[in-house]
Amino acid sequence: MRKIFKSGAIRPALAVLALGACAVAVPAAAADKVKIGIVGSATDVIHILADKNGFFREENIAPEFINFISATTMIAPLANGDLDVGGGGPSAGMYNAAMRGIKLKIVADKGSMAPGNGFMPLIVRKDLYTTGKVRGLADLKGLKVGDTSKAGSGDVTLDKALRSVNLTFNDVDKLYMGIPQLAAALENGALDATFMLEPMGTTLVAKGSAVMLATGDTLYPNQQLAVILYGEAFAQKRDVAQRFMNAWVKGARIYNDALKDGRIAGKGADEMLQLLVENTNVKDKDVYRRMIAPAINPDGAVNAAGLKQDYLFYKGQGWIEGDIDPDSLVDNSFANHTRDILGPYRKPAN
């Protein structure tokens, strides 16, 4: 991992106390440094919004953003206290890590598939669609279907998709690789269909390489694809952990203001698109304008019931090494307290 940038320097304010004819300058309390893991994904923009809009400063927090190759590589630093806040997919590996004594808390929604926001679509090679070989989910039987990682959220979505047409998880040939490799495999004919996180799904469709067979929200409504994680040491610092959540939820609300009809097309959309281009791995604003946007709960809380459902699928596949209560990893209390402070989110008229 490597550090990529820090928030702008925060100068301590001076409080002036008038004592008779004398004035004594008293420095404000030093801001609490919070180390935040990012991977350059679209949902990392919430952290950037919280910083750019001064929400971290309001909460007396100095964020330090640290770049990681993937969410998986955040787990060890979160466990040993080298990282305070991380984020990623709630996979079987996360539950296995918890059973090995790595203590994490799932504290907020970082990306979910609310109706209209199915940002992990199932796409199919265009030639298969135009020839009529694949026109629906039932046509996937016996074909090669891709995803980014085994025993992750995509496998749960695939299982639900196949069951909806009376197929089983084993009725397709599954291949796992990174997003760039999935895109290349689809384009060169080595892969028939794949789940593809946005904005790459929309990019391949726009290029004429693929057709969108189904959006993720139609296959698994409200699936919790990504979460905010606290390391145990940070979660126990209740005051600063709560102040971080306050700032993060405020950022999530600005993001939600910019959503319209599943796209970034609402209030403040132009600013949001510019921030995405400046702070993520995709540098084409039009790609972000066309993509299906992730849903992020403007009140912060995660879909605990959905996480439990996914855990049971992993367990049924034999991917969980022992027994753990998935609810024991979820702590919505930080987000719920922020909602109590701010009040429920109300979307502005666009």
Instruction: Please state the rounded mean pLDDT for residues 151-179.
Output: 97
By CB atoms closer than 10 A (0-12, 13-18, 19+), residue 306 is buried
Distance between CA atoms of residues 35 and 46, nearest Å: 15
pLDDT at residue 21, rounded to an integer: 38
Tokens of 320: 């969980």
pLDDT at residue 249, rounded to an integer: 98
The helix/strand/coil state of 304 is: helix
Instruction: Please state the rounded mean pLDDT for residues 49-70.
Output: 96
Smallest CA-to-CA distance from 294 within 71, 46, 119, 45 is with 119
pLDDT at residue 144, rounded to an integer: 98
Distance between CA atoms of residues 29 and 60, nearest Å: 8
Distance between CA atoms of residues 68 and 96, nearest Å: 21
Q: How confident is the model at residue 22 (pLDDT cuts 50, 70, 90)?
A: very low
Instruction: Please state the rounded mean pLDDT for residues 33-45.
Output: 93
Instruction: Give kind and range of the element (H or E) at residue 18.
Output: strand 14-19
Angle between helices 333-342 and 238-257 (to 10 degrees): 60
Smallest CA-to-CA distance from 186 within 126, 125, 141 is with 125
CA atoms within 13 A on the CB side of 309: 16
137 and 218 Cβ atoms separated by less than 8 Å: no
Other C-beta atoms lying within 10 Å of the C-beta of residue 173 = 13
The helix/strand/coil state of 335 is: helix
Cβ-Cβ contacts under 8 Å for 120 (sequence gap 6 or more):
113, 153, 154, 157, 195, 196, 197, 198, 201, 216, 225
Q: What is the dihedral of CA 259, 260, 264, 267, to 10 degrees?
A: -70
Please, what is the average pLDDT of the chain?
91
pLDDT digits (tens, 9 = 90+) for 108-145: 999 999 999 999 999 999 999 999 999 999 999 999 99
Place of tokens 């922020």: 338
Angle, vertex CA 55, rays to CA 51 and CA 58, nearest 5: 125
> Domains plus CATH for the chain?
2-116+223-342 (3.40.190.10), 122-214 (3.40.190.10)
Instruction: Please state the rounded mean pLDDT for residues 303-326.
Output: 96
Tokens of 337: 């307290």
pLDDT digits (tens, 9 = 90+) for 330-348: 999 999 999 999 999 999 9
pLDDT at residue 19, rounded to an integer: 29
Distance between CA atoms of residues 215 and 42, nearest Å: 18
Which of 36-45, 220-229, 249-258 bottoms out in mean pLDDT, i.e. has the lowest? Answer: 36-45
Instruction: Please state the rounded mean pLDDT for residues 192-214.
Output: 95
pLDDT at residue 27, rounded to an integer: 55
Q: How confident is the model at residue 15 (pLDDT cuts 50, 70, 90)?
A: very low
Q: How confident is the model at residue 349 (pLDDT cuts 50, 70, 90)?
A: confident
Smallest CA-to-CA distance from 152 within 93, 97, 68 is with 93
Is pLDDT at 182 greater than 70 in this prediction? Answer: yes
